[in-house]
Structure 1
Amino acid sequence: MKIFLYLLYPLSLLYQFLFWWIQRGITSFHLPHVLVISVGNLTVGGTGKTPFVQYLVRFFKETYPGYAITILSRGYKAEKSKEGGILPNGLTPKLYGDEPSQHKEMFPDVQVIIGRDRKNSFLLYNQIKSKKHIVILDDGFQHKTLSRDFDFVLLDANSPFGNGLTIPLGFLREPISHSKRADAMVFTKITSENKIHLDKHKKVLSQKRISVPIFHSSFQAEVKEVLLNQNLIQKSFKSKLDSKYFLVTGVGNPKNVYETAKSTLIPESIRTKFFPDHFEYTTESLLSLLNEIKTDEALITTEKDWIKMRTDIRFIEELRKKNTTVLLLLIQVSVDEDKELKSMLAGLVSTYESKIGPASKN
């Protein structure tokens, strides 16, 4: 295996050169009168950006209710990703993407804009005129086109750097040393099992002379039942010792979803079916999935998956006929240094206000 990596290592170097060459020709554009905060990562795959973006939105909404908030996303695999667009109220994940749709449903009063060219999408579709405006750039660390006031880089505590190699031999989008551009780093998905390896991961950063504030976060999960006959409203769910579940998900790190489900439920058994990240559920795939669910099993999935599943009317009807219990695994971020992180965010707003004039918190 090592010989194979050595032989193909030039491909990784070529990728790094092309990445550098493309980036060097990009001039960053500063969105006028806006505080821009980027949430990104070094690796391909899920590091928990979606729940962290939602953590930031909750803080700003609660602490600075006079501010407008925009989430600016590429809209990966969305039909409107190329042309861009602003999300309406109502579920349209096929047009606008699963994660942006999830954001919009969770925060109806937050403006969500998508587009591959995020600068032009924002300038074209932004409807907010207030100068008290915070833009959260989702998956923005490599998106040099837009200037930002603060860069968060998230690292999955289970495997923050993969094998240490860039694409195509590893999972890194760019070398570890490039994380010097970050203003803060957050180790995500921390558990009692992977916590013992944090010092080793931090040593890697230290060897690269990366010295930025480091935070630590974990997932807090809650399970709720979907009431299929009452406009899909959710209610609290209590697990039983003899409960059985069929966990279905198409996210960047499905094993982490599985571990979260295990830690939240009290199951006799959990069967799993994993799809690729951003999987597009069709009527055929959903009905086939339904046939795999046993009569004594509950279907459990994530909000990101359910956003897409629930738009298929026939699938919902068949779930009702089969009397299948549907459970959602709701995930929120808990930050160990919550007070310190929020103080840092408040400092960003204070600096921003010094440029645009004071904004009331009330």
Structure 2
Amino acid sequence: MMSAFLKIIDGRSPLLWPVRLLLWLLSGPYRLVILWRNSRFDRGHRVVHAGVPVISIGNLTTGGTGKTPMVRYVAQWLRDCGIRVTLLSRGYGAEQGKPNDEALELERRLPDVPHLQNPSRVESATVAVEEFAAQILLLDDGFQHRFLARDLDIVLIDATCPFGFSNLLPAGLLREPVSSLARADFVIITRTDRVDTDTLANIRTVIRNANAQIPMAEFAHDVEGLENYSGTVIPCSELVGKKVLMFSGIGNHEAFRQLLTSQGIQIAGELEFKDHHHFDREDIESIVKQAQQYSVDAIICTMKDLVKIQVDRLRNVPLWALSVGLTPTVGKAELDQALGRIVNLVELDDS
């Protein structure tokens, strides 16, 4: 489980230093591979141009940074401009021939935006342009996927764990060094509502040290309410004072818990599954068993979990998903300008 791994790498327990030392030693070869790989891409080796503008949204770290809501935000922004946009993702965690949880969630939110899942984003880019007549490609989790050239490289930084405990995998959560921000075009700091102003200032300083001129924006995560699979939406206040069981199969279970408690929801029990978890009958029975054990009034999961379970109730207990959106708090004009520059490329291509 991610929470157990975080307890090892966060450095708080002195008893776990032998394990941390081993992980730090293992991160050495990983660093060499990353540096070698990036040097090849920096020279343009095997980089393919799609023929239409590409926007990449990615991370420096593994785990949840709010990427799916941000992909939704940018895709909707482009659709509002009248742009034919297609999402490209790897499809991590998908069952054979089926969309993964992120694709199911985005399909629910953006039914008019095609979403192609393929480990080769180059292949799916060709399909998007030739078969869907895409004007802009939105590359999901694309910062490390450098085979496809991009016109705007956006990197998300989670304010609650911005730099992965300052170590590369597996000693930390960094996929590549913070210095890699030098090749980014735009940085968005997410979950800014969960940290204080001093923490935010320190994050900005680290980013500026890696890329002094990079434009930045900041987004808060806003709870929009609770939604069931049928689409009914209720305010979180309806469950305040009632007992709730929560569960999730995402990359940042702790952030999910914090969002719930920030709404005044009492959590009687919780279950944490691995990221992109496929729920089987045994999992559902475990959830129901805990719900009965704590005599809860409702069960709450994430939207990524709900779109896979696809029911409104579990043994007569209402099942709700926390609906989360993003609100820009700083730098919206700068982000609009960066996205507008890409839209102008489409207008130039069509002229």
TM-score normalised to the size of structure 2? 0.86
Equivalent of 2:93, from 67, 77, 81?
Answer: 77
Equivalent of 2:284, from 278, 283, 286?
Answer: 286
Letter in 2 for 1:13: G
Q: Is the 8 A contact 1:239 1:267 kept in 2?
A: no
Letter in 1 for 2:232: Q
Shift of 1:149: 0.5
- Matching residue of 1:350: 344
Shift of 1:147: 0.3
Letter in 2 for 1:79: E
- Matching residue of 1:340: 334
Matches within 5 A, 1:161-310: 161-191=163-193, 193-226=195-228, 232-237=230-235, 238-264=237-263, 266-294=264-292, 295-310=295-310
In structure 2, the CA distance between the partners of 1:272 and 1:113, relative to structure 1 (3 Å rule), is same
Q: Is the 8 A contact 1:245 1:269 kept in 2?
A: yes
Shift of 1:283: 1.6
Of all paired residues, the percent bearing the same amino acid is: 30
CA distance in 1, matches of 2:312, 2:53: 45
3-state SS of the aligned residue for 1:76? Answer: coil
In structure 2, the CA distance between the partners of 1:210 and 1:272, relative to structure 1 (3 Å rule), is farther
For these two proteins, the number of residue pairs brought into alignment is 328
In structure 2, the CA distance between the partners of 1:283 and 1:339, relative to structure 1 (3 Å rule), is same
Question: What value does the CA root-mean-square deviation take over the aligned residues?
Answer: 2.3
- Matching residue of 2:123: 120
In structure 2, the CA distance between the partners of 1:9 and 1:243, relative to structure 1 (3 Å rule), is closer
For structure 2, the 5+ residue unaligned runs are 1-13
CA distance in 1, matches of 2:65, 2:312: 34
Q: Name the structure where helix makes up a greater proportion of residues.
A: 2
In structure 2, the CA distance between the partners of 1:268 and 1:12, relative to structure 1 (3 Å rule), is closer
Q: Is the 8 A contact 1:252 1:276 kept in 2?
A: yes
Shift of 1:11: 3.0
Q: Is the 8 A contact 1:98 1:307 kept in 2?
A: yes
CA distance in 2, matches of 1:236, 1:249: 20
Q: Is the 8 A contact 2:87 2:114 kept in 1?
A: yes
In structure 2, the CA distance between the partners of 1:169 and 1:224, relative to structure 1 (3 Å rule), is closer
CA distance in 2, matches of 1:333, 1:45: 18
In structure 2, the CA distance between the partners of 1:256 and 1:235, relative to structure 1 (3 Å rule), is same
Equivalent of 2:321, from 313, 321, 328?
Answer: 328
- Matching residue of 2:4: none
User: Could you list the per-position Cα deviations for residues 239-279 of structure 1 after superposition, in whole angstroms to 9, with x for gaps in the alignment?
Assistant: 25421111111111111111111223x33444321111111
3-state SS of the aligned residue for 2:168? Answer: coil
Letter in 1 for 2:287: L
CA distance in 2, matches of 1:137, 1:333: 19
Q: Is the 8 A contact 2:216 2:334 kept in 1?
A: no
CA distance in 1, matches of 2:323, 2:313: 24
Q: Is the 8 A contact 2:247 2:300 kept in 1?
A: yes
User: Could you list the per-position Cα deviations for residues 122-159 of structure 1 after superposition, in whole angstroms to 9, with x for gaps in the alignment?
Assistant: 324656453x6111100000001100000000001011
Matches within 5 A, 1:70-109: 70-80=86-96, 95-109=98-112
For structure 1, the 5+ residue unaligned runs are 86-94, 311-315
3-state SS of the aligned residue for 2:160? Answer: coil
Equivalent of 2:146, from 107, 131, 144?
Answer: 144
CA distance in 1, matches of 2:136, 2:312: 41
In structure 2, the CA distance between the partners of 1:346 and 1:199, relative to structure 1 (3 Å rule), is same
User: Could you list the per-position Cα deviations for residues 294-325 of structure 1 after superposition, in whole angstroms to 9, with x for gaps in the alignment?
Assistant: 34420111111101111xxxxx4972xx3212
Q: Is the 8 A contact 1:40 1:139 kept in 2?
A: yes
Shift of 1:206: 3.1
CA distance in 2, matches of 1:99, 1:278: 9
In structure 2, the CA distance between the partners of 1:166 and 1:349, relative to structure 1 (3 Å rule), is same
Shift of 1:223: 2.1
Shift of 1:224: 2.6
Q: Is the 8 A contact 2:215 2:334 kept in 1?
A: no
3-state SS of the aligned residue for 2:68? Answer: helix
3-state SS of the aligned residue for 2:64? Answer: coil
